[in-house]
A and B are shown apart, each in its own frame.
Chain A
């Protein structure tokens, strides 16, 4: 195995593009090293992006936030402006693994690893985040929900890597939230999860909303029907009920060691409702 720690994105793209055999990007390593340990992957090349300065930064711009691909989730949780604007996204990032894992793991890595149960992804999808991709053919931006294409598979092409995640600027009365279900209080993979982002219009009526569910399908799912259920409402009982039903209806989960189809389908509704209530409150709704 060859290990490289380039200092520019260009150099990283160059290494990945001309790699023969299997090449992996290393940010936090909390997925890659586990897979190496288990013998599931044997990389020929590992490109460590933590020495690329711009990738270590969180930038606040007029259009929102740019979170470098090598920014750890712990660093996200220390950025007050980011917490204020996107508390749900930051909380979701803060739920990945332990404090030890937090020191290293990144939301970009979480996204690229493409687990349907990835904690930060439903929150990013709900937030309408975009991935900034650099590759041999230059830069492109895609919605984060288009990065994972199946469990453990992503849409990046050879030589491409994600440079940063962009979150839009928060305007008006907005709020987001992320909840996951795990059997313990920490250290588990989400059995089912929900991210909700919404913006209020006049008199506390929901003007705009996005709802995303995790661990209920091969990839994190953006559930438009669920958003529709609450747009135009003040999140009353009836709207919540409709939201829950839409969330359950969007589920096509599997039975596995972490949960059953029945359980995931039911709890998806519970979490979507609870997350919506938190987001609503954060947006200033009553």
Chain B
């Protein structure tokens, strides 16, 4: 009986000191490469420099209508009535929909129901920009006119947008039914806290008693947006026979298919989704918003519908990151040993349940080897858009708080900040603050590299300061399906289902070329639509190259097995006597003396006579992603009279496991750093007292422009991941984690001011500088 086979040990935690890591079934098979590690041109590049590449809004279907969405101008309002009759009567209008046209097919799946409600408000508008109705018309002008004819009767409710206000007793309730999860006994009254979570080990209170120095501080970070340049766009077509097509810019067309089919009550197999080229996502294109609406409009109008969000809609009604409020306490001995670390993290989720504080709580102390550590996270509901992932979601805010305190603590005990981190860095065998034990990891190596980096010793100019910080991201793998087909001429088609967000087609082709032993140019990598391959998870969690290369390599191995069999048939010898080497079948043994090796081309040419087409497939769950660490160094110049900051030098050092295409790895490092710099200095959602977003555009949501940044130096470290055939780790996300703290630490080092509120915009910096000046 199950109940007999389980025992609870109350309040007993695992020890921190752990026996050396067991690495089960390592699959790392290669460390010496011919093609992996080179820098060829990407296969999709030409289309992208000539304007030929097709993104979300660059596709059209015959007879297509223009879809537009009506959005709530209120942060929180009961929708008493929606009158669409006048809009429906306008000439040229082919469909008007509200939530009534999107019945609930979610079957009790709360997270899917939340998505449904987020796509189209059901009775209550929960944030400024929440979709309330939508129209499809023959042209944009008609659709705009129709939106104006829809009359919505709102009863405005009290709202709350601020994270600290939302958790106060008596705050307006975003969801009056919300009872906090993860608390025992279960609360009886609703609140805006969706969930409490906790991680850690050891005895934190006892640990602090051993401390010689303790630093405690509270931090706030404002909400930011991924800021992809391409707004969400799709073309949807649903026929009366229940089949549908969707062209869309997304990080995961298979997941979009599954979600849209469920929300629309369609069979998954009847909805074919094609991913366009994607104009940036960074986590923001992992969730559906407009797509189910476009499909519902198309279904009602029986015409294809193109729906493109404006930039204003993207800011108000897609998925920005959390605003946060974080308390950190770390204690250390005089020799630099950290004895206890504690953090409480409050993260906004928008109006729906999320796991954002949870991710912050997991990542906060992940860089360090800690005997006593505890993190507590609270998911906070507010009248803001539903939070979505943004590159290493939640880690940058947690790292901002922790890495700021780490610097302060190092200085208080009189240690160099790098040495202090080296002393406490996690290593292979360390129990991570979030639970498991680490395998081979790179935090120590990035710190040692930072210490030796010339940047660390370069002289600083007037009003300049230097800071450093570390960052962590998990990375993950997930479901992946890949095909390799050998053409009759021996050329290779690699078909993957992970969207290429920034050069992965080149990396994947390199891995398959390496495995098959053929030139890179002989492998063409395609991203398939959902009708062509089995399910693939999104390109998120830095998994695109990690998982699809793993599946691609396995598919290539399967193809090699077939190629060997075919060669054996051509030679009329046993397959065991055929080996694969340098892209050729070779007969093993002196008895075959003069048999010339067979190339893929020769084997492929004979395929019709040896058993038909040659292919290799792989369907896997790509588990075992290696965690990733980075150390960044930032030089910041501050104008002491205006508080304006400029980054004058920046260096990223990060472990890639194995850099498949180093140029694109550098690109990920640089891009993440730039986003982190923007977050640190100027990017923020600004809500008015009325709960409306005041800066829904690129003019006042200030992402860095070219003249804001210096060159961003990169150093790639390669500590192979034992759980990938080539040692690859994800590289996409970690680089956004350290910049916030690195810049704050630089300001502290230059001016002695500790910035605790991000963004460190000029008014905040000037105020801090003046406060410091006035004692």
Q: Which residues of A contact B (CB under 8 A)?
A: 38-39, 181, 183-189, 191, 256-260, 262-263, 266-267, 270
Verify if B682 is at the interface (C-beta below 8 Å from A). Answer: yes
Verify if B570 is at the interface (C-beta below 8 Å from A). Answer: no
Question: Are B705 and A187 touching (Cβ within 8 A)?
Answer: yes
Partner of A185 from B686, B705, B763 at Cβ < 8 Å? B705
Give the interface centre of A38, A258, A262 by most chain B CB atoms within 10 Å: A258
Partner of A183 from B641, B681, B694, B707 at Cβ < 8 Å? B681
Question: Are A257 and B766 touching (Cβ within 8 A)?
Answer: no
Question: Are B699 and A267 touching (Cβ within 8 A)?
Answer: no
Give the interface centre of B643, B646, B695, B704 by most chain A CB atoms within 10 Å: B643
Which 10 residue pairs spanning A and B have beta carbons closest together? A263-B763, A185-B707, A270-B641, A257-B686, A257-B694, A183-B682, A186-B705, A186-B707, A185-B708, A260-B763
How far apart are B116's CB and chain A's nearest CB, in angstroms? 28
Question: Are B702 and A270 touching (Cβ within 8 A)?
Answer: no
- What are 19 A-B residue pairs whose CB atoms fall within 8 Å in the complex? A181-B644, A183-B681, A183-B682, A184-B682, A184-B702, A184-B704, A184-B705, A184-B707, A185-B646, A186-B707, A186-B708, A187-B699, A189-B699, A257-B695, A262-B763, A263-B643, A263-B762, A266-B766, A267-B642
When C-beta atoms are compared, the residue in chain A nearest to B639 turns out to be A270
Name the interface residues of B511-532: CB closer than 8 Å to any CB of A.
none
Q: How far is the CA of A260 from the CA of B704 in the complex (A)?
A: 21
Contacts of B698 in A (CB 8 A): 187
When C-beta atoms are compared, the residue in chain A nearest to B311 turns out to be A37
Q: How large is the interface on B (under 10, 10 to 19, 20 to 34, 35 or more residues)?
A: 20 to 34
Per-residue CB contact flags for chain B residues 743-775 toward chain A (1 = under 8 Å, else 0) read 000000000000000000111001100000000
When C-beta atoms are compared, the residue in chain A nearest to B763 turns out to be A263
Contacts of A186 in B (CB 8 A): 705, 707-708
How far apart are A196's CB and chain B's nearest CB, in angstroms? 17
Assuming the contacts A188-B702, A263-B766, asked whether A183 and B761 have C-beta atoms less than 8 A apart, the reply is yes
Verify if B335 is at the interface (C-beta below 8 Å from A). Answer: no
Q: Which residues of B contact A (CB under 8 A)?
A: 144, 312, 641-644, 646, 681-682, 686, 694-695, 698-700, 702, 704-705, 707-708, 761-763, 766-767
Contacts of B682 in A (CB 8 A): 183-184
Partner of A181 from B312, B642, B704 at Cβ < 8 Å? B642
Contacts of B704 in A (CB 8 A): 184
When C-beta atoms are compared, the residue in chain B nearest to A273 turns out to be B641
Contacts of B702 in A (CB 8 A): 183-184, 187-188
How far apart are B656's CB and chain A's nearest CB, in angstroms? 31
Contacts of A267 in B (CB 8 A): 641-642, 766
Give the interface centre of A256, A262, A266 by most chain B CB atoms within 10 Å: A266
Q: How far is the CA of A258 from the CA of B697 in the complex (A)?
A: 13
Q: How far is the CA of A53 from the CA of B643 in the complex (A)?
A: 46
New contact pairs (5) apart from A187-B699, A257-B700, A259-B763, CB-CB < 8 Å? A183-B681, A184-B708, A191-B762, A257-B686, A267-B641
Contacts of B643 in A (CB 8 A): 263
Question: Are B644 and A183 touching (Cβ within 8 A)?
Answer: yes
Q: How far is the CA of A239 from the CA of B18 in the complex (A)?
A: 70
Contacts of B642 in A (CB 8 A): 181, 267, 270
When C-beta atoms are compared, the residue in chain B nearest to A98 turns out to be B705
How far apart are A260's CB and chain B's nearest CB, in angstroms? 5
When C-beta atoms are compared, the residue in chain B nearest to A189 turns out to be B699
Q: How far is the CA of A39 from the CA of B71 in the complex (A)?
A: 14
